[in-house]
């Protein structure tokens, strides 16, 4: 047997009951595992359920069905001390840097909150740790005494990253941690994520929609569409040989930072709206926008199958 994955997600579902008998299937039967020290990238269209998956894994939402095993233990069964221990080892960087920082706390106290809760540092050591973290994410010590509203969007996002890193967890769920940052700071933060991984064996679930960056940071990538995984593959392979038509269109839509190449290139621009997760299409959820849809696609949900070692895809073109 290979070593035990640090995180195993089995048939995870998160359905929101919106009343009036309306059920929104935000995450609907997702399976993947992440090994220790690995970075797993999760990409996909806005609203496809990435954040919900992350939030259910860290138990901000109770799963509707399925299992999340962290170090072999079902997190749904953890209570009291064990649950607190879970948060010592698993942290989340939130997508929305505006809503996730307490406006009445100074940046220094926000960052040190985890240190305080878990009693990890106080006094001078605490101050030093805060300065060090601020520097790590490209801010200055002087920022510690200021309040979140005094910062730009990108600066707030970095405060959230510093907060998650503060207690040195084993596993970090980073929900669009760099989308609000400009490229040079993105590079800085991504390099920091990688450095921490090398030095402390950190594991990441990295949620994003910038595929070039996701490719850069991830060992493996999962592509989500409407609550389900469409494709999972090692990142090089996903880019060299995308199998799912949705992955292919995603890759072709990435803007290239090179005006001359840009003018020459052909893109697949998807027509049609993203279907509503309240009323998903029958069969393959992508079929309403898929350039290759066949009759069978409307009738049968394609199975999520391993077509090459480590390369999974849910598409009738690949059965």
List of residues contacting another protein (CB under 8 A): 43-47, 98, 135, 138-140, 142, 150-155, 179-188, 190-191, 194, 209-213, 215-216, 235-236, 239, 249-251, 253-262, 267, 269-270, 272-274, 276
What's the token pair of residue 100?
């996730």
**Sites of contact with Mg ion (CB under 5 A):** 51, 95
49 binds, among ligand ATP, Mg ion, another protein, none (CB under 5 to 8 A by kind): ligand ATP
- DSSP assignments along 213-267, one per residue: HHHHH-SEEEEEETTEEEEEEEHHHHHHS--SHHHHHHHHHSPPS-HHHHHH---
Please, which residue, 159 or 167, has the CB nearer to ligand ATP?
A: 159
Ranked by CB distance to Mg ion, the top (closest) residue is: 51
What are residue 172's phi and psi, to 5 degrees? -125, 130
Nearer to Mg ion, 51 or 157 (CB): 51
Which residues are bridge partners to 12 per DSSP?
30
User: Given the rule CB under 6 A, which residues bind ligand ATP?
Assistant: 16, 24, 26, 44, 46-52, 95, 150-154, 182, 209, 277
- Angle 26-213-25 (CA atoms, 0-180°, nearest 5)? 5
- How far apart CA 299 and CA 283 sit, in angstroms, is 5
Question: Residue 234 or 275: which CB sits closer to ligand ATP?
Answer: 275
Q: Residue 191 forms beta bridges with which residues?
A: none
Smallest separation (angstroms) from ligand ATP to the CB of 45: 7
Minimum Å distance from CB 71 to ligand ATP?
A: 25
- Binds 249, which of Mg ion, another protein, ligand ATP, none (CB < 5 to 8 A, cut-off by type)? another protein
What is the C-alpha separation between 189 and 251, in angstroms, rounded? 23
């Amino acid at each position: 047997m290979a070593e035990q994955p640090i995180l195993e997600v089995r048939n995870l579902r998160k359905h929101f009951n919106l009343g009036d008998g309306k059920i929104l299937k935000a995450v609907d039967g997702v399976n993947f595992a992440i090994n220790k020290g690995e970075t797993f990238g999760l990409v996909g269209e806005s609203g496809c359920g990435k954040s919900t998956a992350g939030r259910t894994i860290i138990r901000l939402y109770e799963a509707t069905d399925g299992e999340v095993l962290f170090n072999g233990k079902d997190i749904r069964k953890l209570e009291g001390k064990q649950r607190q221990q879970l948060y010592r080892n698993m942290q989340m960087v939130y997508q929305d840097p505006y809503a996730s920082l307490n406006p009445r706390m100074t940046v220094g106290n926000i960052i040190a909150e985890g240190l305080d809760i878990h009693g990890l540092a106080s006094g001078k050591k605490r101050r030093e740790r805060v300065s060090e973290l601020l520097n790590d994410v490209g801010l200055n010590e002087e920022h510690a005494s200021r309040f979140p509203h005094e910062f730009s969007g990108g600066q707030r996002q970095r405060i959230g990253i510093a907060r998650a890193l503060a207690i040195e967890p084993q596993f970090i769920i980073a929900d669009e941690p760099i989308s609000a940052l400009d490229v040079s700071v993105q590079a800085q933060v991504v390099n920091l994520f990688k450095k921490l991984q090398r030095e402390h064996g950190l594991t990441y679930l990295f949620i994003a929609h910038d595929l070039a960056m996701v490719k850069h940071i991830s060992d493996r990538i999962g592509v989500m569409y409407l609550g389900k995984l469409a494709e999972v593959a090692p990142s090089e392979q996903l880019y060299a040989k995308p199998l799912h038509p949705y992955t292919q269109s995603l890759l072709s839509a990435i803007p290239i930072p090179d005006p001359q190449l840009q003018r020459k290139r052909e893109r697949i621009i998807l027509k049609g709206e993203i279907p509503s997760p309240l009323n998903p299409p029958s069969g393959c959820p992508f079929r309403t926008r898929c350039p290759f849809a066949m009759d069978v696609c409307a009738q049968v949900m394609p199975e999520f199958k391993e077509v090459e070692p480590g390369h999974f895809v849910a598409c009738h073109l690949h059965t």
